[in-house]
Homo-oligomer: A and B are copies of this chain.
């Protein structure tokens, strides 16, 4: 079990989000997607993805000329990792404090609030 994958950096997270969204991709595809919202050189994207492979955040298929990269970490696990880290480092480990900041900040819609209530119901229900 490889539980200790490194925390992705900002740049790595951007790549992961794209691959989670559009599925396994080539460097070109990721770079195109990145280029929609920021300026970035092709070889920069390539380098980041190569490093991510070394770290185990991505795997790649090198059969063809153009390598295809796959996410090696799930979106859910990664979000878990990041939110846990933030909770510990900035909120003293309190989920409540973090949740309140997240909700208090943003103007949540009535619908969102309702969904969270239902989620809380589930949490209590599924609990022993």
A residues with CB within 8 A of B: 10, 13-14, 17, 76, 78-80, 82-84, 86-87, 89-92, 95-108, 110, 112-113, 115-117, 119-120, 123-124, 127
Contacts and interface: CB of A to CB of B under 8 A. Distances in A.
B82 A90 contact: yes
Contact of A102 (B89, B99, B113): B99
Contacts of A87: 102, 106
A100 to B, nearest CB: 6
A82 B89 CA distance: 10
B80 A103 contact: no
Contacts of A103: 95, 99, 119-120, 123
Contacts of A102: 83, 87, 95, 98-99, 102
